Chains A and B, each alone.
Chain A
């Protein structure tokens, strides 16, 4: 059973959704212009964290707690992806920038 959501909490969820959408837009700016590959990987990591928070908010807003599993899985996949990028940078350097 899902607890009934008070108007205050609903308002907080809406405000936080807007804030996180803004954060998505701002982080995409760094992906677009980050001068080197590690800059973009850091911004990608940031995007994954933002998506985890966004899914948490979606859990509250929709009343379906099953979405939490998606948040955990996304955190796991983002970690593996970041580690793979780090290995790649360490092995191949950053000369292939933009590619």
Chain B
């Protein structure tokens, strides 16, 4: 029983570490704020949650497992709310979307703020062709 629980905990820990790494790589590699948020929220929550679940499986005592479960529940409750708030704020603040964004359903309904870069205000609109070189992450105008 003990060995079995520890093997399960070890697999959960390895999975959690891998998902955390995938989430971090996604935050760096993906093209735009909303897509990056997708990586950090889902994969990151899964990684941390799997590790906390492994702690609960390893100890198997009421108080410790309850604390680990509370941590998981708290992560699952707060991560979507936080991601929604940043997504909403960044969309309305006018952060440019990826140039390959297929469809922006909110575009006709809201007035977005000026783009952060200032000089490419057409960038948020997907049907205006954008030179991909100007919108690459880490573009020269990205640094202050």
Contact = CB atoms under 8 A, between A and B. Distances in A.
B36 A53 contact: no
B93 A93 contact: yes
The size bracket of the interface on A is: 35 or more
A68 B64 contact: yes
Interface SS, B side: helix
The size bracket of the interface on B is: 35 or more
Interface of B: 2-3, 6-7, 9-11, 13-14, 16-18, 20-21, 23-25, 27-28, 33, 36-37, 40-41, 44-45, 47-48, 51-52, 54-55, 58-60, 64, 67-68, 70-71, 74-75, 78-79, 81-83, 85-86, 88-90, 92-95, 113-114, 116-118, 137-139, 141-144
8 contacts: A33-B142, A38-B93, A42-B33, A49-B44, A49-B79, A56-B54, A82-B86, A86-B86
Given A11-B10, A16-B13, 6 more contacts: A16-B14, A16-B17, A33-B142, A39-B36, A52-B51, A90-B93
